[in-house]
Amino acid sequence: MLNKLLMAGCLMLFTFSALAVESPLPDAAQEARAYALFHQIRCVVCLGQSIADSPADVAADMRRTIRERVAAGDGTDDIKTFLISRYGDAILMRPPLTVKTAILWGGPTAMLLLACGLIWIGMRRESAKDKKQG
């Protein structure tokens, strides 16, 4: 009985994964445009990956939306504007430099400078401590 349940579960999983296969656009130029957009849009689940590389369901939905909009004749900027309106500027792999995205652009540099400053202060304190003792 347990074997039959496991077999049925496996069959259902394979069926669902077969339904999730994405179909490319019939026009090769449109598919190339959609594929280029996939690499410019960040997955909202994975955050470090583009939707082209992400296995997340949300990324698959976003790829499907992009394909639909490309097929409908929307321009690249129109599609990006649509996605930004839904998810914000951080959805772009290269977000524009604005007040809202300044932390995305300046955050890593600020953290590096802070770490270097703390190391420098610590080294000066150790040096001062050594001079007092020696």
| pLDDT tens track for 13-35 | 544 443 455 778 888 899 999 99
What range does the domain containing 44 cover?
Answer: 24-96
Mean pLDDT of the chain: 83
Are both 34 and 75 inside the same structural domain? yes
Question: In a 10 Å sphere around its CB, with 0-12 CB exposed, 13-18 middle and 19+ buried, how is residue 42 labelled?
Answer: buried
Taking only the tens place, the pLDDT of each residue in 31-53 is 999 999 999 999 999 878 999 99
Q: What are phi and psi of 3, to 5 degrees?
A: -60, -40
Are both 114 and 134 inside the same structural domain? yes
Are both 35 and 58 inside the same structural domain? yes
pLDDT cut 70: percent of the chain above it: 84
Are both 75 and 105 inside the same structural domain? no
pLDDT at residue 12 above 60?
Answer: no
pLDDT at 13: 52
C-alpha to C-alpha distance for 79 and 68, rounded to whole angstroms:
10
Is the dihedral angle over the CA atoms 41, 46, 48, 54 positive or is it negative? negative
